[in-house]
Amino acid sequence: MTGCLPEGDSPPSRDSLSDPVNPADYTGQDPCAGRNGIGRMCRVVAVAPISGTDAVNPIAIALSTAPSYELLVGLPDTVARYSSSLGDYYEASDGLGPEGTFVEKQEKGLVAATDLSGDGVPELIFWIGGVEQSARYRVLTVVDGALRIVAAPGGQGMYSDAETWAIYGGHGANYGAFRCAPDQPGTITRLGGDSIGDTAASGYELDHHFRDANTWQQGTSRDNQPIPAYAHAALVPFDCPHTERRVPAGTTDKTDPFHDSPADPATPAQPCAGLTLPDGRAAEIRALTGEITCARAEQIYTEYRDHPPATAGNTNWIATPDWICSTPTAGTNTRTGRVASCADGTAVKTWTFEVHLVQ
């Protein structure tokens, strides 16, 4: 997928850009903090210089059973987030992100970090829906700590709206692909053809020059140009230099959002975030002793919360063969923010945890 190299040079493969990165070297916050657990999976898939020339900003793809599909960037003071939903243009029929397993959606979601605008800061290309030969993307840039959409050149078309960059490489009318113009920062070329087969075809090239996040100025058009093969396996939607380094998946990374994994333990130093109480307040699970996963602790607290209330006492103390939980008095709750305390239901307490409001 990497282009814009001197003639005769071979672009590096995407795999050759993979390089182990120590999270301690990140220039920014962990974008997956609190985004792993039951119903959620998040992984840092790459790093790129977003907040500065030598920055190592982590870029993550997060999925949930909501459903949601997010691209996140760890910045020094915040995490920038863009969430794609089933409400996005022309997505409801084929789901969120690229086709494939949850792991494949995570791996393919970030197409590239590449400087399309020519300002020296890479934009992020996020695959929001569709299949290899007919796909839709968002191009995103960081502005004031948030991810903003860069409009597509040419505006609205049959397969895209003004915010969606689309390709269509079927047998027939073709909406082409994009290529960075060598030695012309801020210029991209749209490749297209009227009739596409499984071999090379003739078509057109149309240049676009970046003006601002909402405007591309149309440039030179060239007809009767040789268009690269549009066989599905060969289609390159964005033929531009990559500035990101890929981060390979680890053995403890989750492979689906439905189950917990060894990467999601509850520990005193790392509470399980993302818990929402019935009244809408945010809470977290804090392990005190022993070992228990975030998913299991959340399941136990939910079982306790849904259990018929105790008939005596003022702490709703309930014991089952699997767990024992109680609720603090109103005064303790106000003073400490503690919502519940739970322990193993066996005689030997192998684990204990508390649920606290997020202050």
Residue 16 is given by DSSP the state G
Tens of pLDDT, residues 233-282: 456 789 899 999 999 888 778 888 876 654 456 766 678 877 888 888 88
**Which of 102, 49, 101 has its CA nearest to residue 73?**
49
What lies within 8 Å, CB to CB, of 172 at 6+ separation is: 195, 196
* Domain definitions of the chain by residue range: 15-246, 265-357
Tens of pLDDT, residues 167-211: 876 554 455 688 898 889 999 988 776 555 555 556 778 899 999
Neighbours of 317 (CB within 10 A): 13
Tens of pLDDT, residues 121-174: 999 999 998 877 778 899 999 999 999 999 988 754 545 578 888 887 655 445
What lies within 8 Å, CB to CB, of 109 at 6+ separation is: 45, 61, 69, 71, 97, 98, 126, 127
Residue 82 pLDDT greater than 90, yes or no: yes
Mean pLDDT over the full length of the chain: 80
Nearest 10 degrees: Cα torsion 267, 271, 277, 282: 170
